[in-house]
Homo-oligomer: A and B are copies of this chain.
Amino acid sequence: MTDSMNRRIVLASRPTGAPTEQNFRLETVEKPTPQAGEVLLRTIYLSLDPYMRGRMSAAESYAAPVAIDDVMVGGTVCQVEESHNPEFAVGEWVLSYTTGWQSYSVSNGQGLLKLGMNPSHPSYALGVLGMPGFTAYMGLLDIGAPKAGETIVVASATGPVGATVGQIGKIKQCRVVGIAGGEEKCRHAVEVLGFDACIDHKADDFAEQLAKACPKGIDVYYENVGGKVFDAVMPLLNTGARIPVCGLISQYNATSLPDGPDRLSLLAGLILTKRIRMQGFIIFDDYGHRYGEFAKDMNQWVAEGKVQYREQIEQGLENAPSQLIGLLEGKNFGKLVIAVNKPL
């Protein structure tokens, strides 16, 4: 069954603080018609990721903001529904970063990553085998550079990045301590993902529990949340610790800096006296040329069951705004994906 119309979600207004559904608008427009050399892409899965909050703001960031009334950006897994390009067959699966939050789009093929005619888990290309997995892999291995026996700490332990960081850490024979919101996620991190421990950041004695779980301090803190987790991590950092910074989800909805004292010099002093390396990275900009390395290792680890992967698949493009809002509050459990259209 195919639609005659295209449904899309555009940015209606910029949020102040946490986004609300009013910042988005669902539109129904004509389904685009592919010209010679083009393909019509049918969106099957849309990925929801924390970085999208940044694109909703006009503030300078690592990527241009989405313009008001433009379709929200995002990674999608699509099928070719109609092809006027000899390089793409009808029914073929592709990963697209130019489609965004809509049910149909047209492409000349540029930038599409081919996933084959019958991939076993097409949506994995949005998670463990795609951008989040690649982010986990390069940030941990290249900047974090963990050595066997060291202690790695990562938050959002059941999210697609954190879960992968922790499992790679176990493959590299490290002690891995996760941080997650709530008992159920913590149990999953230990029992399914194989973390050595996982601390609930909602616990009153969170900082004490984290310290207890890291009796030899922290050698690699994979930063994806910031805020009170970073505060609890700071005093535990060992000399020579590495901090890859891939996200700061706890800060994305902040509208002002917290009250003082101003701890900027405290962080600089810690970096100096503990000889810490703290480094931000944007996965495709910094490591695009190393994608092959990642794809080879990760496909093998997933096939061998060394890396487990959990998805939360929600139905319907119209639910993407509320799901993204929930993601920013930590409500998802596993990689959040929107099922947009049924496969062909």
Interface residues of A (CB under 8 A from B): 54, 60-62, 223, 226-227, 230, 239, 245-248, 251, 254, 256-269, 271-282, 285-286
Contact = CB atoms under 8 A, between A and B. Distances in A.
A272 B248 CA distance: 8
A269 to B, nearest CB: 6
Contacts of A281: 275
19 contacts: A62-B272, A62-B273, A223-B268, A226-B269, A257-B260, A258-B262, A260-B260, A260-B261, A260-B262, A262-B262, A262-B263, A262-B264, A264-B264, A264-B266, A268-B278, A274-B280, A277-B279, A277-B280, A278-B278
Given A239-B62, A260-B259, A245 B265 contact: no
Contacts of A272: 62, 245-248, 280
A77 B301 CA distance: 57
B278 A271 contact: yes
B271 A230 contact: no
A171 B339 CA distance: 57
Copy number of this protein in the oligomer? 2
B271 A280 contact: yes
Given A276-B279, A278-B278, A280-B276, A261 B256 contact: yes
B62 A268 contact: no
Which one of A246, A257, A265 has the greatest number of beta carbons of chain B within 10 Å? A265
A245 B271 contact: yes
Contacts of A266: 257, 264
Nearest to A264: B263
A245 B247 CA distance: 23
Q: Pick the 8 closest A-B CB pairs, nearest first.
A: A260-B260, A257-B261, A272-B280, A263-B264, A277-B279, A271-B280, A258-B262, A275-B280
A257 B54 CA distance: 30
A286 B279 contact: no
Contacts of A276: 279-280
A257 B230 CA distance: 18
A258 to B, nearest CB: 4
Nearest to A259: B260
Given A263-B257, A276-B279, A268 B61 contact: no
A273 B223 contact: no
B226 A265 contact: yes
Nearest to A285: B275
A142 to B, nearest CB: 11
A27 B101 CA distance: 77
Contacts of A239: 62
B263 A263 contact: yes
Contacts of A60: 273
Contacts of A54: 273
A280 B285 contact: no
Contacts of A226: 265, 268-269
B251 A269 contact: yes
A286 B248 CA distance: 29
Contacts of A269: 226, 248, 251
